[in-house]
Amino acid sequence: MNVNIIETSGLGKRYGSTWALRECSLAVPAGHVTALAGPNGAGKTTLLNLAVGLAEPTAGSVTVLGGLAAGSPAALDGIAFVAQDTPLYKNLSAADMLHLTRNLNRRFDQPYAKARLGELGIPLNRRAGKLSGGQQAQLALTLALARRPRLLVLDEPVAMLDPLARHDFMALVLTAAADDGVSVLLSSHVLAELERVADYLILLSRGRVQVAGEVDDLLASHRVLTGPAAEADRYTERPLVHARRASAQAHLLVRATADDPVPPRWEAHPVGLEELAMAYLREPGASALPGPALPLGTGHPTEVTK
């Protein structure tokens, strides 16, 4: 039976008169490493807080783990959350953090946690505040995984880490997903990192979902067309997502598959995840330099540059 690890319907959250998230409808199937991407202020942390029960929605609804109300005891028992600032008690040792986490949770695999910290070379008797940034992140992740969750939620977990620490951190996340069947929801603005690990993508911009789906399906349903700039404004056969035009040549990112015909004098190329994400995250109607508008097929933003 297919289970949605997170499902939202018309979900919205307002702080005062400002909507941090609105009209968010998603159905994320279990078994994926899901990347939640978007610029600062897009609503990523708000969506995560709603999913794990740290905030109440202003509008709509959110369920997790196949229909459980977000924040309910049953849902909390199956979700582990690591916030951006790596929440640890800095004056407690790693061993004390294991002991505390075990006492605060119904389920905690202490042998796994000790073995994992040993593999990472993290001393159990060292205070958390004396560990390196990478070690603190690994300790927080180990504590989360030792709870044996069905869903692991990570909010910008590698933002402050160096490249090697980021690689090691994500390696453990991928191992948990592959070996233990943990579903992962990972928020980040480092698109290159997400391209390496994610197989499901949610793009947020200005509090709204721009696109969501399995990465392979999204890439297969988009193409970059390269051709004469003079003909760019006449190309309307496929919905346009993003356009970039120089004096002689235009590059159009469109919704199309490899089987769709290519206009005469144009070439079609596959699109990468980072390029696709950047296109959908552009501000609607924005342009780096003045230029004639190109037709917009789906209500998604078009960018024209010279």
- CA 153, CA 52: separation in Å to the nearest integer? 8
Average per-residue pLDDT in the chain? Answer: 85
Domain residues of the chain, as ranges?
4-215, 221-281
Superfamily of domain 4-215 in the CATH hierarchy: P-loop containing nucleotide triphosphate hydrolases (3.40.50.300)
The fraction of the chain above a pLDDT of 70, given in percent, is: 91
Output the pLDDT for position 237: 67
Q: Which amino acid is at 38?
A: G
Output the pLDDT for position 206: 86
Q: Would you say residue 295 has pLDDT above 50?
A: no
Output the pLDDT for position 283: 44
235: pLDDT confidence band, cut at 50, 70 and 90? Answer: low
Q: Would you say residue 191 has pLDDT above 80?
A: no
Structure-token pair, residue 192:
């290159």
pTM as predicted? 0.84
Output the pLDDT for position 86: 66
Residue carrying the six token digits 């004098």: 265
Q: Sort strands 79-82 and 68-69 into parallel, antiparallel or unpaired.
A: unpaired
- CA 138, CA 134: separation in Å to the nearest integer? 6
**Mind listing the pLDDT tens digit for each residue in 103-125?**
999 899 999 999 999 999 999 99
